[in-house]
Chains A and B, each alone.
Chain A
Amino acid sequence: MSARIEAQGVSKRFGPVVALDAFSLEVAPGEIFGLIGPNGAGKTTFIRILTGYWLASEGDVRVDGVSVTRERFRVQARLGYACEQPKLYADHTVDAFLRFMGEVRGLGGARLRAAVGLSVERMGLEPVRRRRIGVLSKGFRQRVALAQALLHDPALLVVDEPTVGLDPAQQIELRRIIAGFRGTHTVLLCTHQLHEAEAICDRVALLDRGRLAALATADEIRVGGSLEALFLARVGREPAAGVVP
């Protein structure tokens, strides 16, 4: 099962600063949707509104027709979120942390054990299952973050910058895992890595200064040359330092 996302005129202001400006988009069920843009474009802001962490100043986001503003817990029950720079409890073991998140998600007993086992297997965490998160490499921590997001088999998976800081092999592996969700889960992938979005996303939205600058399908991107070309054309400036083309 997978979810549909509908964002209608979502704006977010912090005093005089406009982080998002009338941003609208639709993500179809089962789609892997990429959200790209330079630093400060509003990607993480949108994700925080989608996940219910922040409130939109205007507009609303709906997941399968349920408003995040009014019924955020129902929405949160249907989504799994792996943040940028994984926020994990360093003093917990991988197993303890996953069990904790599973219980928070309402799982218990045999269901919890099965869910944790499946997540561990999916993310290849078996070798580090009994180790404390604080001593794990960045790659494994990213996997733990994804594993906790998948515990309750959510309809919607929101992943923010999953491959930042990973070595190429780890990046390829993680992309393969995410691509494997196509059709069964809806994935909203937020990334700086243009080739990553190009490789695995069905559609990509380009955010710039809080606004939707471009929206393209994978085919349109291939026809247009590359996502980099699209980026440069729409954003109108060189990619910012740190953005890997």
Chain B
Amino acid sequence: MSPARPPIRLQTITAAARTTPGRLGLFTVALLVLCLVFGLASAASLQSRSDALGDVVTSSQPLAVAAQDIYRSLSDADATAASAFLAGGVEPRQVRQRYESDIAQAGTALAAAASAARTSEQASRSVAELSTYLPVYTGLVEAARANNRRGLPVGAAYLREASGLMSATLLPAARQLYDSETARLASTEDRATPVPWLELLVGLLTIGALVAAGVFLRRRTNRVFNVGLLAATVASLLVLLWVVVTAISVSVNVGQAREHGSAQVQMLATARIAALEARGAETLTLVARGAGSEYEEQYGEIVERLGGSSGLLNRARDAIDDPEVRALVDDAMAQLGSWRDAHGEIRRLDDSGEYNEAVTLAIGDEGAGPAFTAVDERLGKAIALSTQRFDAEVAAARSALSWSVPGVVLLMVLAVAGIGWGMWQRLKEYR
């Protein structure tokens, strides 16, 4: 190396390009660069798909489930607390247990949501609000319960305050969290399935350049095949195929997961929460005792939204192709029918002055209570099955990606080695 090495200038390169070995050298450098870029782009794209799917499994999906759990269990707690009040001073044990398990479930899900909700401003605000007011809510319910057990009417006032806090603060926050987590799940799903334009472009360019190099060598050196270049071409082709096939299969799996999993879960969860709201309205109509016509209107409106001809259940049923899930939704619709019948009877009894009979039919062992519980359970099972389907599709998508990054890297190392070796064979002939 000379002590004052001149910087590489454009003239140096153009001068080199005029001789055959110079051209060969330039070709070699260009091919190596193309191969490296292609390999890096492919590996990065596969890695980001895999990361996105990992996020779906470890973060977005569990969070969406947690948000749905919070929303559902809080709605259920509210409806259950109201029916405990209707039942009188000492509520039936299963009603109390249902309330307690709702609160426990909401607390657990809230902890899960809190640990992961820091990525979104909206979600973390909702979580903070829920964490602040959930203990306040349970405190009010306990004050109501203690007074109810002593036969004091101030218990009902505490229950009204608790219910007001639930519907004005807690449920809207739960709803917001649910919406933002569902939107996040959809956007993470999108991140796993972009069309691989860049990889396609660079890949085709690389393969084109390798073929061009082969043709050039054949013309200049009268040899038919350069084994190194041939190996590099084949390796690049394989990488391109791998990327394209993987992208397609991940898209198909994620599409299936969305259609038969997350979208379906969302529809069913909305229906389940609507059923809970209707139950709450039914109970509060009786708690208000004659002054509850707004709750009754609310019940009618929700049940129509749920079970009407273009209602949530019907739409879910049309969108579902899994026979097992569909059977559950059919069953839920049938149970909703008997719930509506029981509700009609409750209203008839209450409106004709037979209040205690109406209460018995609403919260007793027969009538509206069991019918509502059946609707809730069927929808819960349908949601669990759809979640399983979602998990299975995402797992399939992830397995399509497994080994893809090391595989691509290995193939591209092979391609680089092929280029280097093949070109060196020619270059050294000019020494």
Say whether A and B bind each other: no
Footprint of B on A, CB under 8 Å? Answer: none
Footprint of A on B, CB under 8 Å? Answer: none
